Each structure stands twice: as structure tokens, then as C-alpha cells.
Amino acid sequence: MPAIDTAAPCIPGSAAPRPLELYPSLWAIASDVPLSRYGPERLEAHLHDLDWVAEIGVCHEAVIERVAALRGATVVPMKLFTMFSTTARALEDLRGRRRDISAILRRVRGCQEWGVRVTQRASAPSHKKTAPTVSSGTAFLAAKKRARDEAHDRLARSGAAAEEAFASLSAHARATVRREPPNAATSPPLVDAAFLVSTACRARFRAAATRAAAACRDAGAALSVTGPWAPYNFIAETRSR
């Protein structure tokens, strides 16, 4: 049975997390929550309060991290606000998904999720003196074309570096998930991806990320890394190497 620290912080208003045995060596970690605080109507009203949702999300992640830190534990995180009316209903549902859960466990065992985002850096402001006013329409159009060409070249260089970074990091990952930006995004990232990395490859992945960040910086892009996280993006089917 997982030894959970019941004195540690948990979801606001909930009882301490407790393990529910699904099968030998497979447990669900659950907490009882009051309907007065998390019932459908109250929950619906609070979902528009981003600060409230963020607070619950941080607490949810803290519980996951505590369980993931247990020796030999492999965690399959569930979505925030996954709730059942009774413990019996929770057990029935999860036991009915044993095959799917087992497949997920095989996929993520011994791994952590790392997030990588590459964005184009703003061009440095010019400190040159203001150029004199062009003397003709032809010169004006030529200057505009040069500016467009330079911007296009910067974007091409940073885009190529971002793709190279994604490819090099993918070589150290068991699986990847690349998130597409929303259609309405005005400044979408060049790469926004999650990598499932085995703990044995963690140092190589971080070293590759450091090299990729330097290459992106030289090409006018910025690469940032977050993690390690529980494998949220690898619960569904993913593209494996």
C-alpha cells in the first residue's frame, strides 16, 4: 500500500488523500470532497474564476508529485476535477479500465515529462541614427522591401533552429507530443512540445536542451524548458520514436 503523507496539504476542503486498491500493485489515490463546495452548481460557478481554478490545480499537482516521489511508483495523473459520486462508483469505473490503464503504465513507467517551447525573439532595437528621409518613391519601396526581407530571413533562421531543436531533443525521448497553436494566436511559438524522457536519459536530454538553446539564441529564437512533470500529455496514444 502506498505510504502517503496525510499531513501534507491537499485539495482545499477535502479529506486527506487515501489509497484505494484496484488490483495488486495498482492503486487509486482519492480524497473525499464536500458537495457544498464541489457539487455541480458550485463547481460550474467557480470554473470562471481563474485564480480559484489555479489554486486547486496547484494542490492537485502537489498530491501527484508526492505520490510520484514514492520509490518505485509510476503515476497516471487524472484530469483536474475528476469526481465520482461514491467510492464504489470510482472503483467500478477504474477497474473496468484495467486494460487501458495497464497500457498507459507500460508506456510511461520510468519516465518523466519535460516541456519545451521555442519562441522568436524580438529584434534588438537599432541604436543607429535615424536614416535621412528617402528622396524618391523608388528608394522608399526598396527600403521597405529590405526590411521585409530581413524580417523573413530572421523568421526562417529561427524557425529552422526550432525544428532542429525539436529533432535533437526527440532523439532522447521515448515519445513526443507537439501542440499546435490556436488559430487566433498572434505570436504563436515556433515549437511547443512535451517529451516523455526516461530517467536514464534525463542528463542527456538536459545537455541536448542546453545545446539547442544556444543554437536557437544564435538564430534569434529563445528556448525554454520546464519539468520534470507527471506524464500528463502521454496518457492518450502518442507518437513514439
pLDDT band at 121 (very low <50, low <70, confident <90, very high): confident
Residue 6 domain-assigned (yes or no):
no
Residues 117 and 226 in one domain: yes
Dihedrals φ, ψ of 225, to 5°?
Answer: -125, 135
Average pLDDT over residues 132-150: 63
Residues 38 and 100 in one domain: yes
pLDDT of residue 149: 54
Count of the separate structural domains present in the chain: 2
* Residue finishing a domain among 74, 108, 142: 108
Average pLDDT over residues 24-47: 90
In the predicted structure, residue 96 carries a pLDDT above the cut 90: yes
In the predicted structure, residue 235 carries a pLDDT above the cut 90: no
> What gap in Å lies between CA 90 and CA 110, rounded to an integer?
26
Residue 89 domain-assigned (yes or no):
yes
CATH of residue 236: 3.30.70
| 3-state SS, one letter per residue, for the chain | CCCCCCCCCCCCCCCCCEEEEEECCEEEEECCCCHHHHCHHHHHHHCCCHHHHHHHHHHHHHHHHHHHCCCCCCCCCCCCCCCCCCHHHHHHHHHCCHHHHHHHHHHHCCEEEEEEEEEECCCCCCCCCCCCCCCCHHHHHHHHHHHHHHHHHHHHHHHHHHHHHHHHHHCCCCEEEECCCCCCCCCCCCEEEEEEEEHHHHHHHHHHHHHHHHHHHHCCEEEEEEEEECCHHHCCCCEEC
Q: Compute how many other C-beta atoms are within 10 angstroms of the C-beta atom of residue 131.
A: 8
Q: Round the average pLDDT of the chain to a whole number and report it.
A: 85
pLDDT of residue 148: 67
Residues 153 and 141 in one domain: yes
Residues 103 and 115 in one domain: no
Question: What percent of the chain shows pLDDT beyond 70?
Answer: 81
Q: What is the pTM of this model?
A: 0.77
pLDDT of residue 68: 86
Range of the domain at 195: 111-124+132-240
> What gap in Å lies between CA 162 and CA 214, rounded to an integer?
11
Residues 222 and 116 in one domain: yes
Residues 90 and 142 in one domain: no
28: closest CA among 96, 76, 83? 76
Residues 229 and 137 in one domain: yes
Q: Which three cell numbers stand for residue 117?
A: 517551447
In the predicted structure, residue 8 carries a pLDDT above the cut 70: no
In the predicted structure, residue 24 carries a pLDDT above the cut 50: yes
Residues 70 and 117 in one domain: no
pLDDT band at 150 (very low <50, low <70, confident <90, very high): low
Residue 8 domain-assigned (yes or no):
no
pLDDT of residue 240: 46
Residues 230 and 215 in one domain: yes
Do 200 and 110 meet the contact criterion of CB atoms below 8 Å apart? yes
Residues 224 and 190 in one domain: yes
pLDDT per residue over 193-226, tens digit each?
A: 999 999 999 999 999 999 999 999 999 999 999 9
pLDDT per residue over 51-92, tens digit each?
A: 999 999 999 998 888 888 888 889 999 888 999 999 999 999
pLDDT of residue 146: 67
Residues 188 and 116 in one domain: yes
